[in-house]
């Protein structure tokens, strides 16, 4: 049977009353540190208060952890809630330090359990990336249909395409963080995976006719890093910011162009196999 759990981040601007929130922060500040945690914060485009766009570079943050079980009164009843408090004590100059007050139903008795809560919470970045791949990349937001059933079917199909685009993008993004943590072999292993894990044979063969890998010999399947970079180029990516990361709309343009060319390739292949000429 499936087990359900909850992890909720509490902020000073949240739905819980300001008084209760302030008391909880004060209570957790008085607790001893149970351990530490290092996390890779991904690059992200953000907007300043003035409305001006700004690039937040990726960085590594060191957090301290505190944990406690607290009783919160709601509707005249006491509720025991586990709390994990992760705080960055020395953020870079000009950066706001991370501060996560996490309310959870998960056990927090040991440091390993507290770290597990943090790991679950940090997967939200991956979930947000998937939503970008699905909505902006695969274009589910651009769908316009009169039938709700047809809209649901189309959104479901694009969901799978979004997963494939996310897999390709992570081949570029995750090795960057692994290298920063000194895990060079793990980064290279990820980049050198066969692109057949994401692309069908016809897809990578057509893509290879457009962007043949440097030094590639024979008919072996190129790696995932080459597939991502080639797809980005096909979408018009020129890496002007030197991040190596293309936008979701650019990746989608490359993917859409590739699918059109694969469709033409398969049509021509079927005609030749049938003994017909173009």
CATH number at residue 103: 3.90.350.10
Residue 130 lies in a domain: yes
Does one domain contain both 17 and 102? yes
Residue 2 lies in a domain: no
pLDDT band at residue 2, thresholds of 50, 70 and 90?
very low
Predicted confidence (pLDDT) per residue in 152-200, tens digit:
888 888 888 888 888 777 777 777 767 766 788 888 888 888 888 888 9
Tally of structural domains, the chain: 2
Residue 267 lies in a domain: yes
Residue 1 lies in a domain: no
Does one domain contain both 85 and 157? no
- Structural domain of 88: 7-122
Q: Any bridge partners for residue 60, and if so which?
A: 40
Predicted confidence (pLDDT) per residue in 99-124, tens digit:
899 999 899 999 999 988 988 888 78
pLDDT of residue 1: 42
C-beta separation of 121 from 9 below 8 A: yes
Check whether 78 has a pLDDT greater than 90: no
Does one domain contain both 64 and 145? no
Does one domain contain both 143 and 24? no
- pTM summary value: 0.59
CATH classification at residue 148: 1.10.740.10
pLDDT band at residue 16, thresholds of 50, 70 and 90?
low
Retrieve residue 187's tokens.
Answer: 């980064």
What's the full length of the chain, in residues?
Answer: 278
Percent of the chain with pLDDT over 90: 20
Residue 52 lies in a domain: yes
Residue 278 lies in a domain: no
Does one domain contain both 28 and 54? yes
The whole-chain average pLDDT of the chain stands at 82
Checking DSSP bridges between strand 59-74 and strand 53-56, what pairing results, if any? unpaired
């Amino acid at each position: 049977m499936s087990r359900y759990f909850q992890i909720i981040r509490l902020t000073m601007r949240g739905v819980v009353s300001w008084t209760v929130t302030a008391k909880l922060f004060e209570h957790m500040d008085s607790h001893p540190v149970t351990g530490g945690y290092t996390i890779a914060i991904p690059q992200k485009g953000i907007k300043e208060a003035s409305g001006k766009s700004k690039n937040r570079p990726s960085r590594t943050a060191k957090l301290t952890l505190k944990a406690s079980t607290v009783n919160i009164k709601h509707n005249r009843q006491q509720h025991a809630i586990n709390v994990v408090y992760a705080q960055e004590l020395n953020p870079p100059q000009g950066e706001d330090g991370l501060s996560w007050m996490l309310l959870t139903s998960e056990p927090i008795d040991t440091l390993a359990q507290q770290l597990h809560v943090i790991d679950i919470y940090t997967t939200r970045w991956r979930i947000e990336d998937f939503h970008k791949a699905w909505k902006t990349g695969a274009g589910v937001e651009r769908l316009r249909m009169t039938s709700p059933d047809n809209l649901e079917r189309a959104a479901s199909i694009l969901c799978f395409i979004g997963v494939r685009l996310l897999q390709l993008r992570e081949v570029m993004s995750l090795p960057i963080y692994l290298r920063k943590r000194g895990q060079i072999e793990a980064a290279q292993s990820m980049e050198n995976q066969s692109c057949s894990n994401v692309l069908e044979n016809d897809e990578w063969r057509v893509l290879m006719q457009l962007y043949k890998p440097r030094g590639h010999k024979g008919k072996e399947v190129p790696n995932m890093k080459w597939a991502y970079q080639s797809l980005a180029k096909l979408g018009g990516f020129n890496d002007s910011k030197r991040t190596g990361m293309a936008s979701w709309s650019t990746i989608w343009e490359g993917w859409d162009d590739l699918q059109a060319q694969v469709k033409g390739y398969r049509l021509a292949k079927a005609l030749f196999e049938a003994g017909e000429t173009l």
